[in-house]
Amino acid sequence: MSRKSVLTMQLDKDNESALYSHDDASNEEEEEEDDDDYHHNFNQDSDDEALPKSYNSAHFSASEDKFMKEHDLKAKACEALHNNGTNNSSQPPFSPSSPKNSFIKRRSSIIDMPQRFHHVNAQASTRSNIRNDFASDPNILPEDYPSEELIEFFSNVKKCLEFRHKYLDISLQAPESINPKNQPDWEIYPPPPKPTYKSKNRFNQLPKEDGQDVNEREEFDFSKIEIPEILDSKYYYSLDDEDVYQVHEKKNDKKIVKIPNLHDYYSDLNTISRISSDGPTKSFAFKRLQYLEAKWNMYYLLNEFEETKQSKRNPHRDFYNVRKVDTHIHHSACMNQKHLLRFIKYKLKTEPNKQVIFRDGKILTLAEVFESLNLTAYDLSIDTMDMHAHTDTFHRFDKFNLKYNPIGESRLREIFLKTDNFIDGLYLAELTKQVMEDLESSKYQMTELRISIYGRSIHEWDKLAAWVVDNKLFSHNVRWLVQVPRLYDVYKKNGNVKSFLDIVKNLFEPLFEVSLNPKSHPKLYVFLQRVIGFDSVDDESKAERPIQSRKYPPAGEWNTTINPPYSYYLYYLYANIASLNHLRLKNKMNTFVLRPHCGEAGDPEHLISAFLTSYGISHGILLRKVPFIQYLYYLDQIGLAMSPLSNNALFLTYDKNPFYNFFKKGLNVSLSTDDPLQFSYTKEPLIEEYSVAAQIYKLSGVDMCELARNSCVQSGYEAVIKKHWLGKNYLKGGIEGNDIEKTNVPDIRVGFREDTLQCEKDLIDYYNKLATAEK
């Protein structure tokens, strides 16, 4: 039985009428009628006030209203994909009919497709001109008529970014080009090896040329280094009222840099915190981030094939032979568990009578240590070592720290994984050399090892520098960061320090001394040439006792057993690094950056402290909870060294990790291993990290190469080396700074990232100009 339903509606306006009909027929001939029989003549620039009173969406059922809107959107989407921005006719490509003929007006209840489809030109060497005038294309703007709330939002964004830029400029952490080590005349000793193939496989060795091994590289020789001597320096340093080291000129006693004091720092911190907790601000930032993700999805849908084509056309390069840097890895856990097990067994068999530790009033040999544990070399296994953090460490950072002890014994950690012990860190030095050898064999993998300075003694720096220099721990594939554990409360209870000022002095006084006169600490001077910056480490999930910001005492007055909050630690690291950098810049020495652990757990406000003071951070997974701060991190492209395998074992399961979400939005993310000893199973932990992410998130080859490129940009390697890795113009950024032959990242991908970021920055400028005009 055939049935036909007709829905009609008569509208009167200026003697015009419109008839909407929706016909459902049972036979196939009526179903195959021309699609053009059904038209929506909508004027998308209308508003509710222009609607006739007789016409209201309430006259339609919910399903019919939804059908009409979906049909309209599908028609526009199909037309957009069909024309692909090539329609140069006067009629807009997405409008079913000319707006002049439209007699039904509607409120724009959906996000309209853009009037012009923007396609990134892969061959363009300069920035595309699609952003010439926002006012000419209202679809790009969040609102046709900007509200005061919207203008205020973008004004706050600009204010927060200006705070960050002020702090980074004062501390000389940015721009990258200001660092003396990034100047063309900076010498790296030992120099990087020649670009030759090196393999441990005896079947893949290159023949020797003129009796010399082509893989031979220059060994480090301390006597070949010229240590400058500055006898009569123009500067001196002293502690100010905030217990921050300040550098003065001798002739006029003037400070060479004005550093924000504690009150100013916490005032700026609270300002950003107040803005980020505002409801409308959070909502709009969340929508902007959603827009960025949707923009990526559309881009990838349309350009995946083109990216693959350009990547295949690029000779020689692939994921395995682009440079990738492990931007977050701890030195005492840089080897995998099998490597450490074999090393312990080897030493137990070859050096059983070597005296290795002083315990219980006597010196013990390696054999005696294992006899006291009732173990032999044969008994040792991966299971016996029990150092993997995969089962019982979730949200238990205390248990995770115990995983550093082989077989659960702290004495074995002291023997094999400490630099300052009875054997002067000999075993750890040998392990480090073996790790360096593996990295040099892989050629394309680099690491930035975190090594600890605790701040308990003023001699720690000299001992650490002597350990590195005397054991010749120099490699083209390795740079160092100094990590400072936040353990004041432990030192205070043990009687190591009297106040927080003791830690500040022990951390920074030797650095100011060697920066004033390198001859005072020659080995430290040499070691610091390979140091990139500072890190702040510990369990972020520890509860912090709230203290009013105006009552924070200076470091000398912090003498209770309470551990200072995260933001307090970061201030004193930042403030002293700022003074130190200005002194080192005056004496043409390399400067340092601050790249702390941040946003792994605990209070999300840690991310605001790092936003103000730090060049980049490690982890950052809590950014998913603070959309406004996440948007700020995106706008300033702050480096995030993320470690999903580490998070999976400690704080956040892999399926909930925001890494891929951040990557799609365009945040500056890279992959890192954190602690291969606890989390990795293979000899190449960084490749393992990439491979797991590729399997879980379905990353393409281009995605992997973009992450590798990000890691190189985030790293603290010298500019002359980065130019070899990324291209000679990498500092320019965008398409102009990209070299696909070096990075294997197509220009179309780099252009999309640059274009999207610049559009957001242009929005900020546009609305801030409106705010200025209104004033």
CB 328 within 8 A of CB 672: yes
Q: Tokens 């999300």, residue?
A: 604
CB 586 within 8 A of CB 628: no
CA atoms of 238 and 259, how far apart (whole Å): 14
Please check the confidence at residue 175 and state whether its pLDDT lies above 80. Answer: yes
CA atoms of 544 and 711, how far apart (whole Å): 32
Any domain includes 274: yes
Q: Tokens 């949200």, residue?
A: 395
Any domain includes 215: no
- Domain match, 504 and 601 both: yes
- Domain match, 180 and 43 both: no
Look at residues 97, 117, 137 and tell me which one is the last residue of a structural domain. Answer: 117
Q: Tokens 């601000």, residue?
A: 281
Please check the confidence at residue 601 and state whether its pLDDT lies above 90. Answer: no
What's the pLDDT tens digit per position in 119-137? 434 343 333 443 344 434 5
- Element housing 364 (H / E): strand 362-365
Average pLDDT over residues 259-272: 93
Please check the confidence at residue 244 and state whether its pLDDT lies above 80. Answer: yes
- Domain match, 725 and 636 both: yes
In CATH, what number is assigned to the domain containing residue 588?
A: 3.20.20.140
Any domain includes 276: yes
Per-state percent for the chain, helix, strand, coil, to nearest 5 = 50, 10, 40
- Domain match, 611 and 743 both: yes
Q: Tokens 């990216």, residue?
A: 307
Strand pairing report for 531-537 and 669-671: unpaired
Any domain includes 575: yes
Average pLDDT over residues 146-157: 90
Please check the confidence at residue 704 and state whether its pLDDT lies above 90. Answer: yes
Cis peptide before 190 (omega within 30 of 0): yes
Residues identified as active-site = 619
Please check the confidence at residue 81 and state whether its pLDDT lies above 90. Answer: no
Any domain includes 390: no
CA atoms of 125 and 751, how far apart (whole Å): 9
Look at residue 361 in the predicted model and tell me its pLDDT. 82
Percent of the chain with pLDDT over 90: 55
CA atoms of 261 and 635, how far apart (whole Å): 26
- Domain match, 580 and 648 both: yes
Q: Is the pTM of this model over 0.85?
A: no
Mean pLDDT over all residues of the chain? 82
CA atoms of 630 and 157, how far apart (whole Å): 12
Look at residue 210 in the predicted model and tell me its pLDDT. 54
- Domain match, 181 and 43 both: no
Burial of 149 (0-12, 13-18, 19+ CB in 10 A): exposed
DSSP 165-197: HHHHHHHT-SSGGGSGGGSTT---SSPPPPS--
For residue 641, which phi and psi values (nearest 5 degrees)? -90, 100
Please check the confidence at residue 19 and state whether its pLDDT lies above 50. Answer: no
Average pLDDT over residues 460-466: 95
Among 89-103, 258-272, 350-364, 458-472, the least confident range: 89-103
> What six digits make up the tokens of 371?
């006899």
Any domain includes 18: no
Look at residue 770 in the predicted model and tell me its pLDDT. 85
Any domain includes 480: yes
Look at residues 67, 91, 117 and tell me which one is the last residue of a structural domain. Answer: 117
Domain count of the fold of the chain:
2
Q: Following CA atoms 199, 201, 207, 211 in sequence, which dihedral angle do they give, to the nearest 10 degrees?
A: 80
Any domain includes 137: no
Please check the confidence at residue 99 and state whether its pLDDT lies above 60. Answer: no
Query: Helices then strands (H, E): number in the chain?
Result: 27, 15
Among 759, 705, 136, smallest CA distance to 444 is for 705
Look at residue 467 in the predicted model and tell me its pLDDT. 96
Higher pLDDT, 76 or 60: 76
- Domain match, 647 and 515 both: yes
Among 460-469, 514-523, 598-607, 694-703, the least confident range: 598-607
Look at residues 80, 100, 117 and tell me which one is the last residue of a structural domain. Answer: 117
Query: What contacts 24+ positions apart, CB below 8 Å, involve 431-435?
Result: 431/335, 431/339, 431/340, 431/343, 432/331, 432/334, 432/471, 432/473, 433/471, 433/473, 434/335, 434/339, 434/343, 435/334, 435/335, 435/339
- Domain match, 471 and 580 both: yes
- Domain match, 36 and 180 both: no
- How does residue 656 score in pLDDT terms, banded at 50, 70 and 90? very high
CB 343 within 8 A of CB 732: no
Look at residue 209 in the predicted model and tell me its pLDDT. 55
- Domain match, 305 and 440 both: yes
> What six digits make up the tokens of 569?
């630690």
Among 315, 344, 271, 267, smallest CA distance to 549 is for 267
- Domain match, 541 and 617 both: yes
Please check the confidence at residue 754 and state whether its pLDDT lies above 70. Answer: yes
Question: Which structural domain range is residue 440 located in?
Answer: 176-186+258-333+425-770
Please check the confidence at residue 271 and state whether its pLDDT lies above 90. Answer: yes
Task: State the greatest distance between any 2 C-alpha atoms of the chain, in Å, as a whole number.
Answer: 109
Q: Tokens 């217990």, residue?
A: 243
DSSP 596-637: -EESSSS-TTHHHHHHHH-SEEEE-GGGGG-HHHHHHHHHTT
- How does residue 409 score in pLDDT terms, banded at 50, 70 and 90? confident
Please check the confidence at residue 71 and state whether its pLDDT lies above 50. Answer: yes
Q: Would you give the end-to-end CA distance of the chain in angstroms?
A: 71
CA atoms of 179 and 177, how far apart (whole Å): 6
Among 53-57, 196-200, 400-404, the least confident range: 53-57
CB 77 within 8 A of CB 113: yes
- Domain match, 182 and 34 both: no
CB 326 within 8 A of CB 670: no
